[in-house]
């Protein structure tokens, strides 16, 4: 192992980090400690296992709790929350970019489930709106609201919404 700081080759194993037991190292010459290179969970999960990420988001959209989504997908609940935040930001960007000067429906249904963090609530709301507007076929319109408004020509999949399709 090469030291990140001084490029010495004199590093020794120095315990593990986290549940995934990522190897840590300490440089003998400068005493700095660092982890072995490892994949970050969130983006890595979304890119390396797009089906799993889409399935987790789909569960959340269908109203599953974080913990039941955790049990169904096998992803850790912290990963699921990070996915939710990522998906929410993306949904927000898509809606900001595509939905200009339209009449929109906001909060058709007041939910009785709230997030503990405002950032998580914002992400969840953005995701649900994007899903409602782009992915879910409206019963009375028979197409998605985005199609009705002429923004897109097809029903988006969750994977498309996440940008992994």
Work out whether 4 is an interface residue with Zn ion (CB under 5 A): no
Q: Which of 24, 26, 30, 159 touches Zn ion by CB under 5 A?
A: 30
Work out whether 27 is an interface residue with Zn ion (CB under 5 A): yes
CA distances to 2, 102, 133 from 94, rounded to whole Å, are: 42, 14, 11
Stretch that binds Zn ion, among 26-34, 84-92, 109-117, 151-159 (CB under 5 A): 26-34
Nearest to 93 by CA among 133, 127, 52: 127
Sequence-ordered list of residues with C-beta below 8 angstroms from that of 75, at least 6 positions apart, any chain: 45, 52, 56, 69, 83
Q: Which is nearer to Zn ion, 25 or 156 (CB)?
A: 25
Would you call 48 exposed, middle or buried from its count of C-beta atoms within 10 A (0-12, 13-18, 19+)? exposed
Work out whether 25 is an interface residue with Zn ion (CB under 5 A): no
Stretch that binds Zn ion, among 27-35, 40-48, 64-72, 83-91 (CB under 5 A): 27-35
Q: Which is nearer to Zn ion, 37 or 101 (CB)?
A: 37
Residues 109 to 128: which contact Zn ion by CB under 5 A?
none
Q: How far is the CB of 35 from Zn ion (least distance, A)?
A: 14
Inter-residue contact 95 to 126 (CB < 8 Å): yes
Backbone angles phi, psi at 105, to 5 degrees: -95, 125
Work out whether 28 is an interface residue with Zn ion (CB under 5 A): no
Contact letters for Zn ion, residues 5-24 (x by CB under 5 A): xx-x----------------
Nearest-angstrom CA–CA distance, 67 and 85:
16
Q: How far is the CB of 34 from Zn ion (least distance, A)?
A: 9
Give all strands of the β-sheet with 11-17 in edge-to-edge order.
11-17, 22-27, 33-35
Q: How far is the CB of 12 from Zn ion (least distance, A)?
A: 11
> What residues line the site for Zn ion (CB under 5 A)?
3, 5-6, 8, 27, 29-30
């Amino acid at each position: 192992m090469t030291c990140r700081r001084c490029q010495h080759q004199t590093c020794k194993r120095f315990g593990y980090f986290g549940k995934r037991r990522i190897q840590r190292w300490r440089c003998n010459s400068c005493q700095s400690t660092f982890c072995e290179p490892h994949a970050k969970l969130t983006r890595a999960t979304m890119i390396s296992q797009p089906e799993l990420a889409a399935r987790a988001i789909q569960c959340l959209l269908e109203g599953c709790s974080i913990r039941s989504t955790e049990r169904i997908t096998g992803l850790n609940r912290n990963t699921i929350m990070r996915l939710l935040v990522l998906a929410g930001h993306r949904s927000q960007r898509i809606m900001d970019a595509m939905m200009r000067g339209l009449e929109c429906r906001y909060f058709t249904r007041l939910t009785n489930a709230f997030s503990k963090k405002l950032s998580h609530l914002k992400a969840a709301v953005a995701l649900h709106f994007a899903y409602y507007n782009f992915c879910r076929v409206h019963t009375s319109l028979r197409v998605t609201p985005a199609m009705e408004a002429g923004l897109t020509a097809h029903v988006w999949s969750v994977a498309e919404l996440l940008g992994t399709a």
